[in-house]
């Protein structure tokens, strides 16, 4: 750093010249401009094109496209299955993260790497693999189907596929928070006579709740837009096991671009509202945790 840089500064409250703090990245204005440009090219322009294409429909046409019985059934399946899968992943993702952080065991690194498999595995391969396992003639399905348990080619298969692709989001979000948690607080709670359940609910859970909500939001958002792993195991029966992304693909194949964008816009709005609510809950939880620690 040169002497000219050291001597350069801004006037403080007492009128003295103080050195400017140098940062690695460019100034705020330039960095903000690059950020807005990048987000516009990657996010805002494609989404605006989606909305503008939808506006080519009249209101009766739009309403008919997004509220037909087949589309409504796909909404219920897509958002319902995504919600169930995200809730399941919150519970079992927390358990997996807890075991990976708190307990040493043989093959721990292998299990830790296995969590990331849904990230690396193509979704179509995941769907084919799950179908081969759970179908009536599959390795597992052949033992379940004689007892009336059918896990493939129905909504059950959709939920299982969404659980598979969403688990890493919860584990990888909660895991670093558990690693940074202060174990001294748990030991202090135990010394003061708290039970294991009280220690978890009063000490551990408040610190990991924001991370759990983040993992839930990411798993839910990922599940809502999932296509590749679901179509192979769902059966794709209209009104029963047909997801909304498949409806959109079908409209595109029929050259009904406006109808496809109308359904996609509804999914976008619903997903945005749900994620906004979840982010609000995260903010509230952080403020509550900060208030409890003060």
Q: What is the pLDDT of residues 147-199, one digit of tens each?
A: 888 888 999 999 999 999 999 999 999 999 888 877 777 778 778 777 888 88
Let me know if residue 143 belongs to a domain.
yes
How far is it, in rounded angstroms, from Cα 145 to Cα 130?
A: 15
Threshold 0.85, pTM exceeds? no
* Rg, the chain, Cα only: 25
Tokens 């993992």, located at residue = 215
CB 243 within 8 A of CB 78: yes
The total domain count for the chain is 1
Q: For residue 26, what pLDDT is reported?
A: 67
Which one is predicted more confidently, 279 or 151?
151
Q: What is the mean pLDDT of residues 261-277?
A: 88
Let me know if residue 40 belongs to a domain.
no
Q: For residue 2, what pLDDT is reported?
A: 47
In tens, the pLDDT along 110-133 reads 999 999 988 888 888 988 999 999
Let me know if residue 269 belongs to a domain.
yes
Q: For residue 284, what pLDDT is reported?
A: 77
Residue numbers of the domain that contains 206: 58-293
Let me know if residue 25 belongs to a domain.
no
Let me know if residue 8 belongs to a domain.
no
Q: What is the mean pLDDT of residues 69-90?
A: 94
Let me know if residue 52 belongs to a domain.
no
Let me know if residue 146 belongs to a domain.
yes
In tens, the pLDDT along 35-63 reads 888 888 888 888 888 888 888 888 999 99
Instruction: Please determine, for residue 94, whether its predicted confidence score (pLDDT) is greater than 90.
Output: yes
Q: For residue 73, what pLDDT is reported?
A: 94
Helix H segments across the chain? 3-7, 28-39, 45-54, 59-66, 69-102, 108-115, 117-120, 123-134, 141-144, 155-180, 183-191, 196-199, 205-224, 228-234, 244-253, 257-293
How far is it, in rounded angstroms, from Cα 230 to Cα 263?
A: 19
Confidence category of residue 294, pLDDT binned at 50, 70, 90: low
Q: For residue 92, what pLDDT is reported?
A: 95
Let me know if residue 157 belongs to a domain.
yes
How far is it, in rounded angstroms, from Cα 27 to Cα 127?
A: 47
Q: What CATH number is given to the structural domain containing 135?
A: 1.10.3720.10
Phi-psi region of 103 (alpha: psi -120 to 50; beta: other; left: phi over 0): beta
């Amino acid at each position: 750093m040169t002497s000219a840089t050291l001597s350069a500064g801004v006037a403080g409250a007492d009128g003295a010249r103080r050195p400017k703090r140098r940062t690695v990245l460019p100034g705020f204005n330039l960095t903000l401009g690059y950020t807005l440009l990048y987000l516009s090219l990657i996010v805002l322009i494609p989404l605006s094109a989606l909305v503008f294409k939808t506006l080519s429909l009249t209101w009766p046409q739009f309403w008919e496209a997004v509220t037909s019985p087949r589309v409504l059934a796909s909404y219920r399946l897509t958002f319902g299955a995504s919600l169930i899968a995200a809730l399941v992943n919150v519970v079992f993702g927390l358990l997996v993260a807890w075991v990976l952080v708190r307990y040493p065991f043989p093959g721990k690194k292998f299990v830790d790497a296995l969590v990331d498999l849904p990230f690396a595995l193509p979704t179509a391969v995941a769907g084919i693999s799950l179908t081969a396992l759970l179908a009536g003639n599959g390795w597992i399905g052949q033992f379940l189907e004689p007892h009336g348990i059918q896990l493939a080619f129905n909504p059950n298969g959709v939920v299982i596929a969404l659980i598979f692709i969403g688990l890493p989001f919860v584990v990888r979000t909660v895991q670093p928070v558990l690693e940074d948690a202060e174990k001294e607080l748990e030991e202090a709670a135990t010394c003061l006579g708290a039970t294991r359940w009280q220690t978890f609910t009063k000490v551990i859970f408040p610190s990991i709740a924001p991370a759990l909500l983040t993992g839930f939001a990411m798993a839910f958002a990922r599940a809502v837009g999932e296509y590749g792993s679901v179509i192979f195991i769902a059966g794709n029966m209209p009104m029963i096991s047909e997801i909304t992304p498949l409806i959109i693909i079908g409209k595109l194949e029929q050259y009904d671009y406006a109808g496809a964008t109308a359904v996609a816009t509804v999914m976008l709005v619903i997903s945005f509202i749900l994620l906004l609510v979840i982010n609000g809950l995260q903010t509230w939880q952080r403020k509550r945790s900060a208030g409890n620690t003060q």
